[in-house]
Copies of this chain bind each other. A is one copy, B any other.
Amino acid sequence: MFKVHVYVTLKEGVLDPQGSAVADSLHAMNYTEVNSVRIGKYLELEVENTDNLEKRIEEMCEKLLSNPVIEDYTYTIGEAVSS
């Protein structure tokens, strides 16, 4: 069993109203050093070791975990975990 870390972020140029709202809140809290905030998803999957593990992770990312039209994804296969 492996832990897979998936990071889903909005593509460059895609507006991030949620990120802008958080940035505005941080400014209102006097954290004026914050220039911008972009918010995405971080997923932790526990996956059995199978053939074509990387290919199947990419399929999961493209079919369900991210929206390829407006989002990019990256992933890392982390440490083995006891099942």
Which A residues have a C-beta under 8 Å from some C-beta of B? Answer: 1, 7-9, 19, 22, 25-26, 29, 31, 33-50, 53, 56, 59-60, 63-65, 83
Contact = CB atoms under 8 A, between A and B. Distances in A.
Contacts of A38: 43-45
A43 B39 CA distance: 5
B39 A40 contact: no
Contact of A33 (B31, B35, B42, B47): B47
Given A50-B33, A64-B29, A42 B8 contact: yes
5 contacts: A33-B48, A35-B47, A37-B43, A37-B46, A39-B42
B31 A60 contact: yes
